[in-house]
Amino acid sequence: MRIDGVDLTSRLIMGTGGLTDLAMLERALLASGTELTTVALRRFAPGPAHGTGRSTKGGAAASSAAPQDSLYGILRRHGIRVLPNTAGCYTARDALLTAELGREALETDWVKLEIISDEDTLLPDGVELLDATEKLVRRGFRVFAYTSDDPVLALRLQDAGATAVMPLGAPIGTGLGILNPHNIELIASRAAVPVVLDAGIGTASEAALAMELGCDAVLLASAVTRAQDPVAMATAMRHAVEAGRLARGAGRIARRTHALASSPMAGRIGSDQEAPRGDWPARAVAEAAGEPGNGRRADRRGTTTAPTTTGRSGVVGGGEAAPSDVVDTSPAAPRADGSGPR
């Protein structure tokens, strides 16, 4: 995954809040395979002895001055980048001040912009968020904007100069999963910047779903730090993100109202009909793909998509669908500038 000119092998971004046992946090971070972590500046104050090496682009890298038994010492030891977070801010003014302090302390232009509306829901305040994004971009920041699952707001943030948009799956720490998969898929299909599913993930299957919906990465913390076995859950999340990405690229089969046998009925034992010649599986796949009226359309990035439905399972297209309700989960097509899928 490429963000602001920086290549990241892992598409799993980890948060560091929620675990007070640094040894356990270190093991979980290593198990996750993450290369980028968020750090809430109100929670960790680097100070002169905990500062970071100069890295104005691509997140901060903890300096050799950081004690080895500190959070920054752990991150430095394993080469994990730091993404400062404005967690706890309620206004654009507070977020700007926090971001500036983070840039001075951690020497990076990257910032995860988080402005919440109230303590009960911890939902993003869209008005303050858009205002802060515009101002931070003018100050030279690379803004990773934590936002709601509103596709319109996500595109407004992109147009304001956000480096990445980070729609929530559900409110922070709830573990409810992806409550509105249709909107997440809309954001992923329309945004030209990286889309990172942030917040609400409770287990590995939900992280995989985020990737299947077209997200470029997943950011999570509570799902790992509050799990009964954080290290095992971090491992599961790493594999889930990889599996979801592979499934997205492979392309799921179309949902059908009626069953479609994978083996020919003709030629079965007790039948007078001979088995058909040729490659039956290939023909069956071609027939399934050739169903009329699939309602496909091209989105802003050139990806072919189709109308979707949401079933009780919370999966796009869940439940029985008519033949025309086909979900195309093919990987993103090359962009107009020829740079190819993200």
Kindly report, residue by residue over 210-225, the tens digit of the pLDDT. 999 999 999 999 999 9
pLDDT in tens, 174-204: 999 999 999 999 999 999 999 999 999 999 9
Can you give the pLDDT at residue 292? 46
Parallel, antiparallel or unpaired: strands 12-15 and 217-220: parallel
Can you give the pLDDT at residue 18? 82
**Catalytic site includes residue 135:** no
Can you give the pLDDT at residue 192? 97
Can you give the pLDDT at residue 317? 44
Binding residues for 1-deoxy-D-xylulose 5-phosphate: 173, 199-200, 221-222
Binding residues: 173, 199-200, 221-222
Can you give the pLDDT at residue 266? 74
Task: Supply 324's token pair.
Answer: 């025309």
CA–CA distances in Å: residue 92 to residues 87, 108, 127, 147: 12, 19, 9, 14
- Judged by DSSP in three states, 213 sits in coil
Identity of the residue numbered 3 = I
Question: Which domains, ranges and CATH numbers included, belong to the chain?
Answer: 2-250 (3.20.20.70)
Catalytic: which of 112, 245, 248, 255? 112
Mean pLDDT, 10 residues at a time, the chain of 342 residues: 92 90 94 95 50 50 58 92 94 96 93 94 96 98 98 98 98 96 98 97 98 98 95 98 98 92 78 66 60 48 49 43 46 49 54
Can you give the pLDDT at residue 320? 42
Can you give the pLDDT at residue 193? 97
67-71: long-range contacts (C-beta < 8 A, 24 or more apart)? 69/22, 70/22, 71/16, 71/22, 71/25, 71/39, 71/44
